[in-house]
Amino acid sequence: MVMNRNYFRVLIVDLNREKSEVKRFEGRHEFVGGSGLCALLFERYGLKNEPWHNENQPLIFSIGPLTGLFPLMSKTICAFKSPYHDQYTESHAGGRSALSLFFANLDGLVIKGQARRPSLLVVGSRRVEIRDASYLWGLDVIKTGKIVRRLVGEASGHRSILRIGPSGENLCSFSCINCDTYRHFGRLGAGAVMGKKNLKAIAILGDERAFVSLGKNYKEIYGKIFKRIEDSGMMKKYHDLGTPANFKKLNELRSLPWRNLTSTWDKDVDRISGETFAERHLLRNLACSGCPIGCIHLGYIREKFMKDHRYYFEQVAYDYEPVFATGSMLGITDPVKVLKLILEIDEKGLDVISTGVALAWAAEAKEKGLISREETICDLKFGDAQGFLEAVGHLSNQETEFYRQLSRGTLAAARVYGGEDFACVLGQEMAGYATGELYFTAQALGFRHSHLDVGAYSYEQKHDERDVKRAVDFLIKDEPRRALLNSMVSCLFARGVYTNEYLAMCLESVGLKDIAINLDELSERIRFYRWKLRFDTGFSPEDIKIPRRFYKVESWKGKVNPKFLDELKISYGKRLKGLVSEGEKKWT
C-alpha cells in the first residue's frame, strides 16, 4: 500500500444502500489524478443521458499524485453533472480538503444515491459513517460548520468540512459547496447536487500517514520548489493585496464591469480597491493546508447593534471576484456593505459571482419595468445594499415565482421576464473581466465557463491586433497545461512555478517517472477526456449565445468589434469540436 501507487484508490459511497466500497482503478499513467481522474470516474459512474437530479448521478472529489507532497499542491477537484446546464462540469476548491483526502489515504471519493433523510457523511482512513443530520437541515453554512466540527471531534486541524446552505437544499442552480468556511466549490451548482442527495455535510478526516516511497532527492526537490516560490515574487503578490489588486488595474483598462456592465470604468474605484480593503478592512490571512502563500484575505465587519456601544464582529473572506460581483457590479462602493453582502451570500450557500451578477440583472430589469416590486419583494436598485441583502434571502428560499426562476440562472429568468440582451451571462454569470472579444469567447465556450480555463484576459491585454486564428490558437494551446496542473492538483497561482520541467522533477522524486516523461501528451489527453464528457452530456457551442450587452462594451481598445467576436466564437467552437473528434481517433 503506497500512496504513489500506479493505480487510484477510491471510496465509493452508496447513500441508497448506506454501504461503501474501496475500489481500485487502473490508469494512473493515463488519467494522472484530479481533473483526469474525475473524467475517468464520471465515465464509469455518470449517467450521461439522465438529468443532473437523477439520484444516482455521482458527486466526485479527487486529488492528484503530487497532493500533499509539494507546496501549493493543495486543491481538490469536484466533478458532477451541473444543475446549471445539465452537462458535465468541474468546480475546484482549496482549504483543507485536498490534504484531508490525501491523509485519509484516498485519491478519490464518489458519492452516489440519495440518503433517506438529511445526512452527514464522515470519511476517514478507517471510518465511513452516514449519520442522521435532520436537525441541520435549513441551517446556514456557518452554523452547520460549527456543529459538524463538534460532532466529528477528531482530527482537528487535519480535517475538512464541506457543507451546503439552504440554497443547496432548495436546489438553486448556482448553490455552492462551502469548504472549510472560507473556500468554495463555487460555480455551476455543486451545492444542489449535494442537496438532491440529502447530504448536508461531508467531514473528511486526514487521520492516516501517507504511504509513500520517497526518492532520494525528494527533500532536495521540495527545497528547490520552496525556494522557487519564494523567489518568484508570488509570495509578495498574494501576501500583499491578494487578487483584489486587480481592481485599479482593470478599472484603468476600462475592463471592470460596473452596474451590470453598463460601464467598464468608474471614478469611485478607490473605494473598493485592493489597497482600500487591505489598509482598512483586512483582519488577517489564512492558508490552504500545505501552502505557504496564505492568499486567503479575511476582512472584518464590526457592527454596532445597540445604542450603548454593543458590537458584534464577523470575519469574511474577500477576493477580487466576490468584490466585483457584490461591489462594482451592483454599484456598491462601501467596503463594509460589500463584506456584508458576501457574508450573507456565503451563509446561504450561494455562489457569490452568480448571485451578484444575477442581482445586477434583476436591478436593471426592475429599472426597465420588466419586473415589479411584488415579484422582487424588496427594492433592487444599484448602490442600495439593503435591498440586495434582503434579495439574497428571497433567492435562497425561492420566495416568489420570480426568485424561483432567478435561482435557475440569470438567462433562465430573462427568458421568462425579458431582458436577455442585458443578462451578463457567458455560459454562466460572467467573471469580472470585460477585457474584450477574446475573454467573452473564452468564458462563453470554456470547459468550466471560468476565467481560469484559459488565460484569455491576459492574452488580450498583451495583443491589440484582431487576428482570429492567432487568438484561437492561443486558447487551444493554453488549455492543456492547465488541465495537467488541475490533475496534479496544483493551485493555478503556481502555474509559473510548476513548469513541465519542474513537474517532471517532482513526479520522478516520488516514483512516478512514467508520468513525468509523457507530460505533453497527457495534458492533451486529459483535455480531450474532459471535453468529450462535456460534449457527450449535451454541450453544443452553437447553442451558447453571447448577450447583446457584451457587444456594447468599450474597453481601452475601444468598442467591441461584433464581427471579430462572432468570428472568434464560431472558430473556437469549431476547434473544440475538432479536438474531440481528433481525440476520439487517437485515444479511444
Partner 1 sequence: MKFLRASNLKRCIGCNICSLTCAREVHGLISWQASGIRIKSSGGISTGFEATFCLVCKEPACLNACPTDALIPRKGGGVIFKRQSCIGCLECKEACPVDAVSVDDSGFPVICIHCGRCVSFCPHRCLELVEE
Residues engaged in binding partner 1 (CB under 8 A):
3, 68-69, 71, 99, 103, 149, 156-158, 206-210, 212, 214, 218-219, 222, 226, 235, 284-294, 296, 315
Distance, CA of 379 to CA of 427 (rounded, Å): 28
Exposed e or buried b for every residue in 359-388, given b needs 16+ CB within 10 A? Answer: bbbbbbbbeeebbeeebbbbebebebbebb
Host H or E run for residue 551: helix 548-551
What does the block give as the cell for 28? 494512473
φ, ψ (nearest 5 deg) of residue 429: -55, 140
Asked if 338 contacts 326 with a C-beta cutoff of 8 angstroms, the reply is yes
Distance, CA of 237 to CA of 336 (rounded, Å): 24
Distance, CA of 105 to CA of 122 (rounded, Å): 14
**Cis amide linkage into residue 316, ω under 30° from 0:** no
Distance, CA of 180 to CA of 289 (rounded, Å): 11
Give least dist CB 319 to partner 1, A.
15
The set of residues, in sequence order, having a beta carbon less than 8 Å from that of 535 and lying 6+ positions away, is 577, 580
Give least dist CB 71 to partner 1, A.
7
Give least dist CB 68 to partner 1, A.
6
Give least dist CB 99 to partner 1, A.
8
Query: Is residue 426 helix, strand or coil?
Result: strand
What does the block give as the cell for 38? 474525475
Q: Which of 463, 490, 489 is nearest to 62 (CA)?
A: 489
What does the block give as the cell for 122? 464522515
Distance, CA of 316 to CA of 322 (rounded, Å): 11
Amino acid at 529: Y
Nearer of residues 103 and 535 to partner 1, judged by Cβ: 103
Query: Is residue 98 helix, strand or coil?
Result: helix
What does the block give as the cell for 95? 482549504
Nearer of residues 4 and 328 to partner 1, judged by Cβ: 4
Residue with C-alpha cell 522533477?
Answer: 505
Give least dist CB 215 to partner 1, A.
12
What does the block give as the cell for 362? 434583476
Q: Beginning with the edge strand found earlier in the chain, give each strand of the sheet holding 59-62 in spatial order.
A: 19-26, 7-14, 108-112, 59-62, 76-81, 88-93
Asked if 154 contacts 409 with a C-beta cutoff of 8 angstroms, the reply is no
Distance, CA of 105 to CA of 94 (rounded, Å): 18
CA distances from 501 to 225, 445, 506, 520 (A): 12, 30, 9, 11
Host H or E run for residue 70: none
What does the block give as the cell for 252? 484603468
Give least dist CB 382 to partner 1, A.
34
Concatenated DSSP letters for 80-92? EE-TTTSSEEEEE
The set of residues, in sequence order, having a beta carbon less than 8 Å from that of 40 and lying 6+ positions away, is 8, 25, 27, 31, 529
Give least dist CB 104 to partner 1, A.
11
Give least dist CB 69 to partner 1, A.
6
Nearer of residues 288 and 456 to partner 1, judged by Cβ: 288
Give least dist CB 471 to partner 1, A.
38
Give least dist CB 158 to partner 1, A.
5
Distance, CA of 154 to CA of 405 (rounded, Å): 41
Nearer of residues 286 and 544 to partner 1, judged by Cβ: 286
Give least dist CB 400 to partner 1, A.
39
Q: Identify any residues that bridge with 76 across adjacent strands, giving them in sequence order.
A: 93
Give least dist CB 284 to partner 1, A.
7
Using only the alpha carbons of the chain, give its radius of gyration: 23
Residue 346, phi-psi category: left (phi > 0), alpha (psi -120 to 50), beta (remainder): alpha
Nearer of residues 502 and 556 to partner 1, judged by Cβ: 502
